């Protein structure tokens, strides 16, 4: 498993409090630091504001060879809803070509559909696969939210990759068998939302009222911090790191200092025994806590 730097925070206001994005040059500094310190994967999306533009400006400077990097981006959400099936390939190709131009690269390592409900649309998945075969994307896949969507992708002959939520508080994918070895033959898996849009980074006093149900869960996590001597971030990343059959752990950062802290935390070796009790303690947490799209402000 490798770290993959997510870039949503570079392109738009983001996080529990919609923290304002940094300026472009600062974001490029973060990308440069990451790629000079062992992170060779970058995840972005057309829907992430100016994130593709930021990554493109970074790539244009050529501080690291393109072939040393793994880059994923995502097709604009719901962009096929108003088109007929005969137009799917053209629309996907046009969107991908626009992303390539913005990113200053001639190929994408993985091109994801950003609309998870398309996981149940063989006609759309086939069109995506056909575009992938043209060489503009090495692999194609779907960014999913629910285990049912992930399992549907595994059943499709057209999906080569999925990106799914998974965290110390969100065990749904593991419980559904998404990470089982036998399902990994034809479809690779990346995971995201390690910090649940920054929730895991918040002090309990800073948790907003609309996430009040998360306070006792964070308090319990702090008990394990005290008990084990590891920080929240070390436990959050270590929990995911021990899981087999994951290619990339996609994570986001607010600033350069946070990036440095996360890299150091990921490199820390934590015995799997530490997580035995944590697995049970944080099982079956309500989805309206672990899935940010369900937060009701």
Q: Is residue 203 packed enough to be buried (19+ CB in 10 Å), middle (13-18) or exposed (0-12)?
A: exposed
Per-residue pLDDT of 45-71, as tens digits, reads 999 999 999 999 999 999 999 999 999
- State the angle between helix axes of 88-103 and 122-133 in degrees (0 to 180), rounded to the nearest 10: 50
Q: Quick one: pLDDT band at residue 297, thresholds 50, 70, 90?
A: confident
Q: Could you give the CA distance from residue 60 to residue 27 in angstroms, rounded to a whole number?
A: 14
Lowest-confidence region among 18-22, 127-131, 162-166:
18-22
In the block, which residue shows the tokens 């600062």? 26
Four-CA torsion 38, 44, 49, 50, nearest 10 degrees? 60
> What does the pLDDT read at residue 35?
98
In the block, which residue shows the tokens 């091109």? 111
Q: Is residue 1 packed enough to be buried (19+ CB in 10 Å), middle (13-18) or exposed (0-12)?
A: middle
Q: Which of 63, 90, 60 is nearest to 75 (CA)?
A: 90
Per-residue pLDDT of 232-276, as tens digits, reads 999 999 999 999 999 999 999 999 999 999 999 999 999 999 999
Per-residue pLDDT of 3-49, as tens digits, reads 999 999 999 999 898 889 999 999 999 999 999 999 999 999 999 99
In the block, which residue shows the tokens 């969107």? 95
Per-residue pLDDT of 79-122, as tens digits, reads 999 999 999 999 999 999 999 999 999 999 999 999 999 999 99
Locate all alpha helices (DSSP H) within 1-50, ordered by sequence. Answer: 8-11, 24-35
What's the distance, Cα to Cα, between the start and end of the chain in Å?
A: 34
Per-residue pLDDT of 165-193, as tens digits, reads 999 999 999 999 999 865 556 899 999 99
3 state SS for 137-167: EEEEEEECCCHHHHHHHHHCCCCCEEEEECC
Residue 43: strand pairing partners: 6, 72
């Amino acid at each position: 498993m490798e770290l993959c730097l997510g870039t949503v925070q570079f392109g738009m206001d983001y996080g529990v409090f919609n923290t304002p994005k940094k300026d472009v040059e600062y974001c490029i500094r973060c990308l440069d630091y990451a790629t000079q310190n062992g992170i060779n994967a970058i995840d972005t999306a057309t829907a992430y504001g100016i994130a593709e533009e930021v990554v493109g400006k970074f790539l244009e400077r050529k501080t690291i060879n393109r072939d040393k990097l793994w880059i994923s981006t995502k097709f604009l959400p719901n962009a096929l809803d108003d088109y007929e099936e005969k137009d799917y390939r053209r629309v996907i190709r046009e969107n991908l070509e626009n992303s390539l131009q913005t990113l200053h690269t001639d190929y994408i390592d993985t091109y994801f559909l950003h609309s998870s409900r398309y996981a149940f649309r063989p006609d759309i998945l086939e069109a995506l696969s056909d575009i992938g075969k043209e060489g503009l994307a090495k692999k194609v896949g779907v960014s999913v939210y629910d285990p049912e969507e992930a399992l549907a992708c595994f059943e499709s002959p057209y999906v080569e990759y999925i990106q799914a939520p998974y965290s110390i508080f969100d065990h749904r994918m593991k419980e559904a068998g998404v990470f089982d070895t036998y399902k990994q033959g034809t479809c690779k898996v990346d995971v995201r939302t390690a910090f649940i849009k920054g929730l895991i980074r918040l002090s309990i006093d800073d948790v907003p009222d609309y996430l009040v149900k998360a306070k006792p869960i964070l308090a319990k996590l702090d008990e394990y911090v005290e008990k084990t001597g590891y920080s929240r971030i070390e436990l959050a990343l270590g929990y995911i790191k021990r899981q087999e059959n994951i290619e990339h752990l996609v994570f986001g950062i607010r600033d350069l200092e946070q990036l440095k802290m996360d890299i150091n935390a990921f490199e820390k070796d934590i015995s799997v025994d530490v997580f035995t009790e944590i697995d049970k303690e944080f099982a079956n947490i309500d989805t309206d806590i672990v899935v940010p799209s369900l937060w009701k402000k």
